[in-house]
Amino acid sequence: MNQQGYVAAPPYSQAQPGMGGYQAGYGASPTQPLYGHYGGPPQVFNAPPPGMLKSPVSLAAGMPSPPVSTQYNTNAHQNGAHPQRHPAPPTAAAPYGQPPQSVYNSVASPGPPPAQQLTNQMSAMNLGSYAQGSMQSSPATNSMAQQPFQAAPPPAVGQPQMPQSPQSPYMSPTQPPHMSPTQPPHMSPTQPPHMSPTQPPHMSPTQPPPASMPIASPPMAAMGRPFPGPPPPGPGGFQQPGPGPAGQPGFPQQAGQFGGYMSGPQPNMPGAFPGAPAAMGGPPQKKLDPDSIPSITQVIEYDQVNRGGQSFSTNIRGQVPPLVTSDFTVEDQGNASPRFIRCTTYSLPCTSELAKQCQVPLAAIIKPFATLPKSERPLYVVNHGDTGPVRCNRCKAYMCPYMQFIDGGRRFHCGFCNCVNEVPVFYFQHLDHVGRRVDFYERPELSLGSYEFIATMDYCKNNKPPNPPAYIFMIDVSYSNIKSGLVKLICDELKTLLEKLPREEGMENSAIKVGFITYNKVLHFYNVKSALAQPQMMVVSDTAEMFVPLLDGFLVNYQESRAVIYNLLDQIPDMFADTTESETVFAPVIQAGVEAFKAAECSGKLFIFHSSMPTAEAPGKLKNRDDKKLVNTEKEKTLFQPQKGVYEQLSKECVTHGCCVDLFLFPSQYVDLATMADVPSHTGGSVYKYNNFQLERDGEHFLRDLRKDVQKNIGFDGIMRVRTSTGFRATDFFGAIYMNNTTDIEMAAVDSSKAVTVEFKHDDTLNEETGALVQCALLYTTISGQRRLRVHNLSLNCSSQLSEMYKSCETDSLINFFAKSAYRAILNQPLKNVREILVSQTAHMLACYRKNCASPSAASQLILPDAMKVFPVYINSLMKTAPLVGSTELSTDDRAHQRMSVMAMGVEDTQLLLYPRLIPLHNMDMRSEAPPVPVRCSEERLTDSGMFLLENGHSMFLWLGEASPPDLIQGLFNVPSLAHLQGHMCALPELDNPMSRKVRSIISDLLEKRPNSMKLQIVRQRDKPEMLFRQFLVEDKGLHGGASYVDFLCYVHREIRQLLT
């Protein structure tokens, strides 16, 4: 093991419990670490013999000894809580029934403070970055700071690097890069001080951010050294390794925050608790500069500067698209737009052996109904009349640009299965001198990556055309919903919202029919036939045998029955004004919707507005099973599992009849969301949740969600199949979908924000010349009742070089896949195992890159592939999300809700969720049209006199520093100072000044752009609600456990070194 530049301070060089490769802190270290691959057999790396995990090294010559300050000392803040902001009680974690440990559970075991460990371990551990060329050797680094910059300088640490430059080792942390600590942290990255923006040494968008850097320090309490014992076998997503040998002797284990193990405080060990005495003398060292490690904001900005505002043509196979965060226009020239399909890598390894070796999951994230910007043309619709679309006879792939015409145009060769097919007479066309059909550009299916076919009767149920879909609004009129004013709010909103039902391009009115039901313990159906003067109500009290009491007049055309519907919506709040009924039913409500669609022979969507756990005697009655004692135990997974039986059967029925369920929940306590959301999560539906709903505080937020939901672009009664060329196939599917067999993805509805993640596995060797092809075909019913086929095609490269595969990776897609895999795995495995597998696979992917693709360099260097350099930030953020954190402080329903929401998310939504935007507003250029550039998601970027907007697509905060200038506060809130600000403000007052207009415009643009509404929460620095805001600063330590980004990087680096030795 090359020890160059790696200094082991006393805690490293003595075998301490919890240190040697984090046995105690991360579970016992098996002598043979096994790495479970998603679906592949575990890989075995021969580990060094016990006792060799870390060769003890004394302080290297010329190295300052470790600092005295502890982690929480004022001089050594390390991405954690600033003591003066939130003094941490010494044993905050004690109430969880675990050994006392620091509030943020940052350190897996006592050790030197992270800042110092980082500097120790990374002192000369440089970050080598991967570009195209080979890497220079590490000694070059220290001279870097003094050298004048040549044409393509090796980037400073934490900093972009020119694409043509070779792999560059990163600067040593003891010589921090060009940003002095006195410089204000909120500086705009576009123009650093004293340097020209075109060639700045430090933070310029014109150079890609760094791919590698120096590293150290034990993070998360008990992340678990990969596989401390034989975990239970778990299906899909996470392959379990066989039992490894038990841990090495002499490493006692104690329970830790993540259900893992953590060593207790030990005498003379610094930093076990905030304020623990540090027993190590010597002058303090400079701490690692967070600017020296890869930054997501820089990666995003670099991509926007270099690829934003441009046209992306899809005529090249295996082309990596711009990031989801960049603004670009797509020109479809034979491959589907990245808005419809993104891949984890655009160059597949040729063999399954290579795929297993690198462990990079091969997957596509497909969003068949993605919204296209106005600058891009909608999909062409191809109509072949009664004959229907031309397909391959053998594999049934649809005609697409990958079919090759031969024999003068009389036959075509299928690119998917290599079968040669006769061209139907009506479809025949001559070939030109290069063998291409002369009507190539006139037929979308020959020249474009995405298009639609009009389906024939063969593609319709019972061989007859479908009816237009229907929307049924089902309102819970129990006591709490009436009392809160919710029922009146919904009825008033529906009067205007029904005018805006989605309609086909060019049609004056929507073809969607509407119906209304109210319910508590019984169901009330309404006849709103246009001929009636007054709506009629019919009550069904037998909830066990649900039926629809009227056929004619229940589902109506809104335009025709508008007067009767208005009348009904006025009456409903008064009709139930004096209700005392607090019990509700739930499953019969969904059943009623399915029966109505069955009777009308149409598909559609149910909008259910529900308040509490269904406890009335009826099918689907639920009981409280929330048990905080299960958190951090083997049985914690049961909290996420829906109760079997009624709801399972209901999901199946809904999908069969094209009935999608959207659930709007207004709970004041636990409602067993894992079970109640089961039907929406299998029918392409969404779940919206408003805890302790209050009209004035949450009303507008709820209405924004409802409006977006009703007006979404959507298709019904969908069935999707993903075909691939020979050599690999789709094996696993994640999304708000139902799988009746292993190939057909059934969706009662699919809308513009729903995505399906598909994993691929090899079943043969792939060919570098022909590449790999994917075709996604979705058969669905439009909002006007027409049956159509939507086809998206994508061609990928294949390579026998792992470096090509790593170069073509897309981090944002990878994290989407990992999030969904992990969130599915927690249904079957303890959280601890899932977190361990995440870390282990991250280390494995990066170790394989280091071993096979990077130039030789010191072991102390952390070298990351350029395309994956910020992957560790996302993985660490994922492990700090509510579903994966074992904390009794988090509500079980909220955890289940986030788990289910993520399963249907597209790439841009998971990217934003796991790395929120933190936008400085106090130093905006009022004249500029562009919104301010976001800064890194860390407390270190906040300033006492600053104002920041944070949003992640689900939550939005306006954070005000305690020293905010009075004129800023006056301009935004019309009050003289922060002290006068009212709590619970959820919107900014409309004031006529540039600051107010600009901030409100930024907020409304974000609310417009995101698929969900977000409630604005205004928090003042050092106020109690600020804790809620802090959990979104994902580069810092987690409030409920979890490491800071710096600490996590150090841990991953250790894991990589362990694998490489």
DSSP 48-104: PPTT-SS---PPPTTPPPPPS--TTSGGG--SS--TTTSPPPTTTTGGGTS----TT
Q: Taking the CA atoms of the chain, what radius of gyration do you get in angstroms?
A: 30
Cβ-contact 290, 940 below 8 angstroms: yes
Distances (CA, A) of 293 to 203, 284, 694, 839, 938: 12, 21, 44, 19, 13
**How many CB atoms neighbour CB 462 within 10 A?**
8
Give CA–CA dist 318/346, Å, rounded: 5
Residues linked to residue 75 through DSSP beta bridges, in sequence order: none
Asked if 878 and 815 count as a contact pair (C-beta separation under 8 A), the reply is yes
Does 909 or 4 have the greater pLDDT score? 909
Sign of CA pseudo-dihedral 274, 276, 280, 281: positive
CA distances to 222, 278, 817, 863 from 80, in Å:
17, 18, 29, 25
Tell the burial category of 205 from Cβ atoms under 10 Å away from its Cβ (0-12, 13-18, 19+). buried
Task: For residue 2, give Cα distances in angstroms to 125, 865, 1054.
Answer: 11, 21, 13
CB count in 10 Å sphere of residue 263: 29
- State the pLDDT at residue 288: 65
Tell me the CA distances in angstroms from 957 to 612, 690, 940, 984, 1014, one per residue in order.
28, 17, 17, 12, 9
C-beta separation of 917 from 334 below 8 A: no
DSSP assignment of 819-857 equals HHHHHHHTTTS-HHHHHHHHHHHHHHHHHHHHHHTSPP-
Residue 970, token pair as written in the block? 């006056």
What is the spatial distance between Cα 705 and Cα 696, in angstroms, rounded to a whole number? Answer: 16
Cβ-proximal residues to 93 (8 Å cutoff; 6+ apart), any chain: 100, 101, 102, 103, 105, 257
With cut-offs at 50, 70 and 90, classify the pLDDT of residue 983.
confident
Q: Across 961-1047, where does the E strand assignment appear?
A: 1015-1020
**Residue 707: CA atoms inside 13 Å, Cβ hemisphere, count?**
18
| pLDDT for the residue 287 | 57
Of residues 770 and 260, more confidently modeled: 770
Q: Where are the alpha helices (DSSP H) in 853-951?
A: 871-879, 892-903, 907-914
CB 717 within 8 A of CB 744: no
Cα atoms in the Cβ-side hemisphere of radius 13 Å centred on 8:
18
Going by DSSP bridges, is the β-strand pair 363-366/756-762 parallel, antiparallel, or unpaired? antiparallel
Span of 268-282, 387-401, 490-504, 722-736 with lowest mean pLDDT = 268-282
Residue 60 or 738, more confident:
738
With beta carbons less than 8 A apart as the criterion, state whether 429 and 473 touch.
no
Phi-psi sector, 97: left (phi>0), alpha (psi -120 to 50), beta:
left
| Mean pLDDT (whole number) for 638-665 | 96
- Strand, helix or coil for residue 342: strand
Question: 16 — phi, psi (to 5°)?
Answer: -100, 145
- SS3 call for 794: strand
Q: Report whether pLDDT(412) > 70.
A: yes
Residue 769: predicted pLDDT: 95
1055 contacts 119 by C-beta, under 8 angstroms: no
What value, to the nearest 5°, has the Cα angle with vertex 686 and ends 564 and 478?
50
| pLDDT score of 126 more than 90 | no
871 three-class SS: helix
What pLDDT is stored for residue 647 in this prediction?
Answer: 96
Predicted confidence band of residue 908 (pLDDT cuts 50, 70, 90):
very high
Predicted TM-score (pTM) of this structure: 0.78
Task: For 523-544, write each residue's pLDDT tens digit.
Answer: 999 999 999 999 999 999 999 9
Average pLDDT over residues 155-182: 37
pLDDT in tens, 334-384: 999 999 999 999 999 999 999 999 999 999 999 999 999 999 999 999 999
Helix axes 1045-1060, 114-122, angle to 10 degrees: 40
pLDDT digits (tens, 9 = 90+) for 183-224: 333 433 333 334 333 333 343 444 454 454 544 444 343 343
Q: What is the largest CA-CA distance in the chain?
A: 95
**Rounded CA gap, 387 and 395, in Å?**
18
Q: Tokens for 1029, please give them.
A: 């805001």
Coil, helix or strand for 200?
A: coil
How many angstroms separate the CA atoms of 1031 and 1034, rounded? 7
CB–CB of 680/661 below 8 Å? yes
CB 754, CB 904: distance < 8 Å: yes
pLDDT of 445 reads: 97
Q: What mean pLDDT do residues 1031-1048 have?
A: 94
294 touches 864 (CB < 8 A) = yes
Give the model's pLDDT for residue 135.
37
The conformational region for residue 479 under phi > 0 = left, psi -120 to 50 = alpha, else beta, is alpha
Q: Going by C-beta distance under 8 Å and a sequence separation of 6 or more, which residues neighbour residue 422? A: 410, 411
Averaged pLDDT of the chain: 80
- C-beta separation of 783 from 752 below 8 A: no
Helices 907-914 and 811-825: angle between axes, nearest 10 degrees: 80
544, 519 contact by CB (below 8 A): no
Chain centre distance of CA 450: 25
pLDDT tens for each residue of 561-619: 999 999 999 999 999 999 999 999 999 999 999 999 999 999 999 999 999 999 999 99
DSSP 232: P
DSSP 8-class letter at 373: P
Q: Which residues pair with 538 in a beta bridge?
A: 525
Query: Which range (33-47, 203-217, 264-278, 980-994) has the least confidence?
Result: 264-278
Q: What phi and psi values does residue 1058 have, to the nearest 5 degrees?
A: -60, -45
Residue 70 scores a pLDDT above 60: no
| Inter-helix orientation angle 871-879/811-825, to 10° | 20
